[in-house]
Amino acid sequence: MPGRRKHTLLLAGLALALATVSAEADSHGGKKKPELISGASAEMLAAQCDGCHGPNGASGGPAIPNIGGHDAEFLMEQMKGFASGEIPSTIMGRIAKGYTDDEIKRLAAHYAKQKWVPAKQKFDAGLAKMGAPLAEKYCEKCHEDGGRKADEGIPVLAGQWLPYLHFTMADFISGKREMTKKMKKRVNKLMKSKGEKGLNAVLEFYASQQ
Ligand code: HEC
Ligand code: HEC
């Protein structure tokens, strides 16, 4: 994946920043707790994420997804899935392991409150047009409102970064990331009738949404 090296560097920077913060907390006589930062507010915790995910979780992209404005339940599931290794990742697995369940809950609530900022990105207008009715037919049942729905564990797709949609869809299809049975059925149907081009068209459609 391009940018992996950049992520590694960012991660090193992050680790350093965290080490500094916890050292400061210790020097103020704070008791050692399993949390990286004892009693940190949601905003303090989120500051560590915004470094990669952008201000209030609106990513400058393209390989790092928007998280501000996602559904809280979805955010919690993702973080727990990254931490357990159930959801494949380049770096989130290592990051998510550093947070307690309570911190994850607070982070999820914090990001769910933010406004979703659709990515300003290039897309293939022809493919996006082809993808619109396919998204309606195969995905809209759950990803309602043209992929804008952020509720009941459903992630926003409208205006998510296209490279991220591609990476994560490839993980789903290869079986590295597990799809819900019902989503799998729909994705398989789409692939059977329209092939990879059909799926790409659907992703271009979501990427085109503002
Ligand atoms: C060093 C950069 C970096 C930092 C710091 C970071 N992330 Fe991520 N995040 C990523 C990348 C890259 C991905 C894509 C998955 C992967 O490859 O790890 C991602 C994916 C995610 C996703 C999945 C979103 C989706 O739509 O599927 C969530 C949720 C998330 N991060 C939350 C957080 C939270 C909360 C924090 C802070 C505790 C955080 N991230 C810190 C880089 C980062
Ligand atoms: C039966 C409901 C359902 C259908 C139909 C469905 N999805 Fe999903 N989708 C989900 C749920 C729930 C999640 C989040 C939880 C998970 O990872 O399984 C999700 C997650 C995703 C993600 C990951 C987004 C992220 O930020 O991590 C993508 C991409 C996606 N779906 C694309 C599609 C596409 C494209 C279609 C149509 C071909 C589709 N889905 C149809 C329920 C559905």
**Atom 6, ligand 2: residue with shortest CA distance:** 183
Q: What was the pLDDT predicted at 16?
A: 41
90 lines ligand 1 (CB under 6 A): yes
State the Cα–Cα distance between residues 209 and 198, nearest whole angstrom: 17
- Pocket lining: 116 vs ligand 2, CB cutoff 6 Å: no
Separation of alpha carbons 34 and 11, rounded Å:
20
Q: Return the residue whose CA atom lies nearest to atom 26 of ligand 1.
A: 65
Task: Annotate 51-77 with b (16+ C-beta within 10 A) or e (fewer).
Answer: ebbbebbbbebbbbbbbbbbbbbbbbb
Q: How far apart are CA 16 and CA 19, in angstroms?
A: 5
pLDDT of residue 117: 97
Residues of the chain with pLDDT under 70: 1-38
Whether residue 106 has its Cβ less than 6 Å from ligand 1: no
User: In terms of C-beta density within 10 A (0-12 exposed, 13-18 middle, 19 or more buried), how is residue 115 classed?
Assistant: exposed
**Closest residue by Cα to residue 168 from 96, 63, 95, 85:** 63
Whether residue 114 has its Cβ less than 6 Å from ligand 1: no
Determine whether the shortest distance from the Cβ of 155 to ligand 2 is under 6 A.
Answer: yes
Question: Residue 38: its pLDDT value, please?
Answer: 57
Whether residue 104 contacts residue 96, with contact meaning beta carbons closer than 8 Å, is answered with yes
Residue 61: the pLDDT is 83
- Give, using CA atoms, the residue closest to atom 13 of ligand 1: 64
Tell me which of 116, 138, 142 to substitute to probe ligand 2's pocket, judged by most ligand atoms within 8 Å of the beta carbon.
142
Cβ of 117 closer than 6 Å to ligand 1, yes or no, is no
- 155 CB under 6 A from ligand 1? yes
Which ligand 1 atom is at minimum distance from the Cα of 48? 37
Closest to 160 (Cα-Cα) out of 53, 46, 73, 43: 53
**Would the CA dihedral through 117, 123, 128, 129 be positive or negative?**
positive
Closest by CA position to 96, among listed 77, 69, 72, 112: 77
Q: Is the dihedral of CA 128, 87, 19, 29 positive or negative?
A: positive
